[in-house]
Chain A
Amino acid sequence: MAKKFLYLNRKAPYGTVYALESLEVVLIAAAFEQEVSLAFLDDGVYQIAKGQTPKAVGMKNFSPTYNALGDYGITKLYVERESLVERGLTEDDLMPIVYEDEDDDYTEKPSVQVISRTEMAKIMAEQDVTFSF
């Protein structure tokens, strides 16, 4: 039976390698056909911020890759509202990541779900395995 895997992302991108490493592990693990979801809280919300342009700091912009997650069957990206608010951000500051629903004539649907801290705690409790980055 498929297990529920949660990738917990709490670090901003580019300053450390956590965000990129998490994304690479997610893409590899997606091959194992488990129920994978991603959580973005604390500084991790910046990983899916719009308009990332790291060229001048000499890093590759890997943010477009989050748009490929739908192709890999990953359609749940949970973002904590309190973490956004604490940082002066709103949902409009996030990339509009979508997936195509195969069971609904390939209609594009949003992958990003902004949820409360209480809901985030429940989602963590529901997982079989959590990977922290």
Chain B
Amino acid sequence: MAMLHIVNKSPFERNALKSCLAHALSGDAVLLIEDAVIGVVSGSTLVTELQQAMNGNAVKLYALSPDLAARGVKAERVLEGIQLVDYAGFVDLTVANEKTQSWL
């Protein structure tokens, strides 16, 4: 019964990612797209919360690589444990999870 959560707003400007992580259940996937991808940069203030979600709560985290590339964030700058997906990978995630929920 896993859910794919999709977040598209910058976590530095809005609380959508924070709220999403507080409601995601173990086994769920969280995909960051559009401005939300800037939250995955290693060294950002989001790191503790992202690591807690991945390690403490067994939530899988993904970021859309075309959105990272668009914003000049190279793969090596991405926090360890976060998986990068392209558009095809985005589609795969929607198929692999029974439901999706957007956090606007």
Q: Would you call B101 an interface residue if the criterion is a C-beta within 8 Å of the partner chain's C-beta atoms?
A: yes
Contact B23 A10 (CB under 8 A): no
B103 with A132: CB separation less than 8 A: yes
**Could you tell me if A132 and B101 are in contact, using CB atoms closer than 8 angstroms?**
yes
B6 (CB) vs chain A CBs: closest residue: A132
Q: Pick from B15, B16, B25, B102: contact of A125, CB below 8 A.
A: B25
The interface residues of chain B lying within 8 Å CB-to-CB of A125 are 1, 3, 25
Task: Select one of A18, A121, A132 contacting B24, CB under 8 A.
Answer: A121
Cβ-based interface call for B55 (8 A): no
**CB nearest neighbor in B for A121:** B23
The interface residues of chain B, by DSSP majority, are classed as mixed
**Is A112 in the interface zone, CB < 8 Å from B?**
no
A-B contact count (CB 8 A): 34
Question: Which interface class (under 10, 10 to 19, 20 to 34, 35 or more) fits B?
Answer: 10 to 19
**B23 and A42 within 8 A (CB):** no
Chain B residues, Cβ within 8 Å of A130 = 99, 101
CB proximity of B22 to chain A, nearest CB, Å? 6
Interface residue B19 (Cβ < 8 Å from any Cβ of A): yes
Residue of A nearest to B104 (CB): A132
Q: Restricting to A93-133, which residues have a CB under 8 Å from any CB of B?
A: 117, 120-122, 124-125, 127-130, 132-133
Taking the nearest CB of chain A, how far is it from the CB of B100, in angstroms? 8
Residues from chain A with Cβ under 8 Å of B103 in the complex: 10, 132
Please name all residues of chain A whose beta carbon is closer than 8 Å to the beta carbon of B1 when the two chains form the complex.
Answer: 125
- Smallest CB separation, B97 vs chain A (Å): 12
User: A84 contacts the other chain (Cβ, under 8 Å)?
Assistant: no
B-binding residues in A (CB < 8 A): 8, 10-11, 18, 41-42, 117, 120-122, 124-125, 127-130, 132-133
A-B complex: 4 closest residue pairs judged by Cβ atoms: A121-B23, A132-B102, A130-B101, A132-B104
